Amino acid sequence: MWVYFINGGPSTGTAAGVLQVHAPNQNRHTLGSRFAYKKKIFDANAEGYWQFGSMGVDPGNSDRSLRINAYAGAFHMGFTLPVPMQPRIGGEVNIASGDGDARRCTDQASCGGNANTFEQLYPTNHILFGYMDLFAWKNMVSYGGNFQMRPTKNSHFEIWGNVFRKQNHNDDWYRAAQNTYFRADGGACATTIDKVCGSSSLGQEIDVIYTMFFKNNKVGWQFGYGHFFAGSFLEQYANSDSVTGQDWAYTQVHVNF
């Protein structure tokens, strides 16, 4: 795969200009491959991407002297047992690079010469890193597992758990749409000596999803619940060891024509 992205808009001269979705004044190439394998009860897939090109941040200057150098990868595997209800047990690892200079990058000189935060390119990555959409494929490392089964012919059950960390603790935490969720240097962290939260532990998420199908799978009724357990990064951010997590639930009906 090759994707070429160009944004000729003027640089803003702020860290937000570098870290925003589809940052201006850049040419970005993404090269990557995906491989899939399945044999009997085992299946696996792996994909990896490298981004390169150039971008600039100095306002009023079209110079693109920052070198884009970012990467992302994902690996998933699982076993589907040949028994009633087709239970499947799977595991996964995901990673996307961050940039230690990104938050303090206000001009070409302060950016360290590189732009290392991976950009996921697309508007959202809904459900790929948890149903609560708390994480982009951007400055992150996640690993976890899932269990799936079909309790009946027309239903599907899934429980999924993941642990999330920053790839670079000096870069921000980004949500599924790539926007900054928590700044690396925000909250109580801004009062520390190094002006940044030192922990990379963002937390853990568990999701439970149940779907019923009707009319030859043309209609689906789904119920979902997720809970996020806050990690030490948020404890530092709030300067508290009693930070609570989040709960999220939904139901939806979808129809295929």
Q: 24-38, 110-124, 239-253 — which is least confidently predicted?
A: 110-124
Residue 217 in any domain: the answer is no
Residue 226 in any domain: the answer is no
- For 48-76, b/e burial (b = at least 16 CB within 10 A) is ebbbebbbbbbeeeeebebebbbbbbbbb
Residue 71 in any domain: the answer is yes
Q: What is the pTM of this model?
A: 0.93
Spatial neighbors of 107 by CB under 8 A, at least 6 apart, are 13, 57, 58
Tell me the average pLDDT across 220-243: 93
User: Mind listing the pLDDT tens digit for each residue in 106-163?
Assistant: 777 788 888 999 999 888 888 899 999 999 999 999 999 999 999 999 999 999 999 9
Give the closest residue to 171 by CA, choosing from 90, 227, 112: 112
Q: Where are the alpha helices (DSSP H) in the chain?
A: 15-19, 232-238
Count of domains forming the chain: 1
Residue range of the domain that includes 191: 2-153+161-208+234-240
- Is 141 within 8 Å of 236 (Cβ atoms)? no
Torsion, Cα of 158, 206, 129, 16 (10° steps): 160
